[in-house]
Structure formats: structure tokens, C-alpha cells
Amino acid sequence: MSQDYAVFCGLDVGKETHHATALTPDGERIFDAPMPQGEAELRELFTALSEHGLALVIVDQPNTIGALPVAVARETGCEVAYLPGLAMRRMADLHPGAAKTDARDAYVIADTGRVMPHALRPVDVGEEALAELTVLVGFDDDLAAEATRLTNRVRGLLTQVHPALERVLGPRVGQKATLALLAKFGGPVGLKQAGKRRLLTAARKANPRGAEDLVEAIWTALGEQSVVVPGTKAADQVLPKLAASLTDTLDQRAEIAAQVEEVLDAHPLAGVLTSMPGVGVRTAARILLEVGDGSNFPTSGHLAAYAGLAPVTRRSGTSIKGEFPARSGNKHLKRAFFLSAFAALRADPISRAYYDKKRAEGKKHNAALICLARRRCDVLHAMLRNGSFYEPRQPQSKAA
């Protein structure tokens, strides 16, 4: 972003109306009024501000309700920046007054851009691929939460009426054969009445692989409990509906994953991200949305701190000294790094060796994974910086 701005326009975005405050480099307020969520009004404001010179429009939310102001500002020749909500609240504490109004927030946003430009983050250029990924990944997150809720509900019902059956079906509740049996026959009563032969036929139709072992385990579990727990009849009626809903949700996730992969292939960094072991389509899309090309992070340490992977040092005199896990950072990015590190334990021998080394040092599973994610963050930052694919490090040969 350029530093020679004639106007700093802070925009506290809202669903129906925004509040805009425009300041000159000297802090003079040249505009301060609410604006409706409409293209014509926003275009008129940004055009008028551009008459003073190059204008910087700063928003507190660049997506969803802030997408239209960002697009209109770019069309009128204004540059756009983003001030994160947490940084805005901390800056608000430095300004006099304790009121929480849209007008005050808009002024804080504009004044922060004027006196502390390093606190701003550039908004990614509105590439079609990134815009589509934002929508698709957001919907996939909703589907993932719904799948988790339905899975927990199914396992909870099975635990309530037949714990032995839950121990068999619970870990397999996301498999096609399990969902087909639950959707067709219901709970323990329906499964037992169907008989072993019908269960085997239905399981083979859904997924031939492992159908015999699954049915055998179900039949053994059904024989371990003869008493009928109150609520079993209702569970047999509810479980088929839950299984059908879970099947539909998982099918939608599969469709969205295919669409995300198709859109991701159009981005030049897609191959760079997916070349790293443990980084799949969903993880690559999330990293791309949160990090972009990595140019906003001068070093890998900046990226690790943004993701919440770098430890926080606390020192005060001689009584307080040490480093502690970070509780802040981008939680979506941190989760993506954590899950990719977990997946790399099987896909990458180098990652597995580093993880085993940390476990041997006495670290627990999650702590060792965080260490591995931090190490992989360094590698990923170098890959994004150079635009290069992942190259596994070759072990050095020992001298004779």
C-alpha cells in the first residue's frame, strides 16, 4: 500500500447502514455521517473523497457485510485496507471516552490508519477464485459442524439404549455401510428383527469391503444385552432419520470438496500448497484464504505468531520468567496447521521422526504436534516466498 494518502476513510460496516469518517493526514475531519448499504451512495462518497487525492478506505470486516463497500471502493480508484477487530478495540481504549458507538468506531478506524499504518492489513485483491473459495469453505465449515452434531446424537442414542452396539457402530458411524444399516433397520430392535442375512445383504450393497466383519461384530454386540432399556422404541424411530440426515450431510461435503478442488486448481499457489505432505484440498483452501501469498509476513516467525503457533515470552523482574503457549492468533489457520501436521505423521517420514523426537523429550501428543506445526510453518513460508514445491530433505551421509 502507498503511504501518500490524502484521505483516510474509516468505515464501520453494518448490515443495513455503515458509518464513515474521513480524515486528512493532519487529522482534520472532512466527513462524518452514516451511509446506507447501497452502491450509489457509497460510490458518491468515495468519488467525492478521491477529489482530495488518493484515498484509503479502511474497513473492520472485508467479507460478508463489508464486501460491497470494498468492491465499490476499488472501482472508484480507492485503495482498501483491513483493521482486525481485536486491534481496533485495543486502539479504541487509547482514545478518550468509553462510549461504544458506530461513529466512534469509524473514527478510531480512520485515525488508526492515519497514525499507525503498520496495524493495517491489505485486503486481498478480489480474485474470483478467492471469492468462490470463501463461500465454499464457509459452507463446508457449516456442514462439518452439522455432521459432528449428528454423529454425536447418533452415538449418544446408541449409548443410552445399547452400549455394546455403540462400541461397534460408534467408531464406524461415518461409514456408508453403518449409515445404510441404521437408515434401513433403525436401532437394536430393528437390527435384531432384520436377521443376520438381511443385514449382510444391505451392508454389502452399501460397501462390499468389510461388510462381513461389520455384521458379525453387530450380531455379537446384539447378543450381549437382553434387557430392553426404556426409550429403545423411540430410538429405533429416530435413528433412521438421523442416519439419513448424516448421509445427506456427508454427501454434500463430498460435493463441496470437489468444487473446492476445482476452484483451487485455478489459483497459481494451489500446487505449491498441496505438494506439502499432510496438506489436502480443504487445508490448502483454508491456508490460502487466511495467508494468501504470504507477502504480508516478512518472516516465518510473523506467520507463526499470526497463527498462534509461536510461544509467548513472559518476563518481569526475577519472579516471572518463561514461555507459554499462545492463546491468541488466527484459530482457523492454527487448526489447519495442526490438522496438517497430524496428517503428515503418516504421509511424511521426516515429520514423523521430528514428532517422535519431541515425544522422546517428554512432550505430550498435542505439544509435540504444535512443535511439528511450527516447524512446518517455516517450510510453508519459504515455499510461498519462493513459489517452490515441497522437496523432502535428504539425510546427510555419514563420513567414513
Domain spans in the chain, listed from the N-terminal domain onward: 7-123, 133-261, 270-386
Mean pLDDT of 89-114: 88
Q: What band does 317 get if pLDDT is binned at 50, 70 and 90?
A: low
Residue 55: what pLDDT?
94
Strand 29-36 to strand 121-122: parallel, antiparallel, or no bridges (unpaired)?
Answer: unpaired
Residue 217, C-alpha cell as written in the block = 461384530
- H or E stretch including 385? helix 365-386
CA distances from 225 to 15, 165, 191, 236 (A): 56, 9, 13, 16
> For residue 361, is pLDDT > 80?
yes
Q: What are 178-219's pLDDT values in tens digits?
A: 999 999 999 999 999 999 999 999 999 999 888 999 999 999
| pTM of the entire predicted model | 0.71
The larger pLDDT score, comparing residue 218 to residue 310, is at 218
| Amino acid identity for residue 12 in this structure | D
Helices (H) and strands (E) in the chain, counts: 16, 8
- 109-136 burial, b at 16+ Cβ within 10 Å, e below that, comes to bbbbbbeeeebbbebbeeeebbebbbeb
Provide the pLDDT for residue 134. 85
Model confidence at 353, pLDDT cuts 50, 70, 90, reads very high
Average pLDDT, the chain: 89
CA-CA-CA-CA dihedral for 356, 357, 361, 366, to nearest 10? -50
- The span from the CA of 36 to the CA of 45, in Å, is 11
Mean pLDDT of 324-337: 84
* C-alpha–C-alpha distance, residues 37 and 47, integer Å: 16
Q: Which CATH number fits domain 7-123: 3.30.420.10, 2.60.40.1180, 3.40.50.300, 3.40.50.720?
A: 3.30.420.10
Strand-strand pairing, 320-324 and 17-23: unpaired
Q: Is 309 helix (H, G, I), strand (E, B) or coil?
A: coil
**Reported confidence tier of residue 397, pLDDT bands at 50, 70, 90:** very low
The C-alpha cell of 85 is what? 477487530
Mean pLDDT of 125-137: 75
Characterize the bridge pairing of strands 7-12 and 55-59. parallel
Which class would CATH give 133-261?
Answer: mainly alpha
Would the pLDDT of 348 be above 60? yes
Question: Higher confidence at residue 329 or residue 33?
Answer: 33
DSSP designation for 334: H
Query: Is residue 77 classed exposed, middle or buried when 0-12, 13-18 and 19+ CB atoms within 10 A define those classes?
Result: exposed
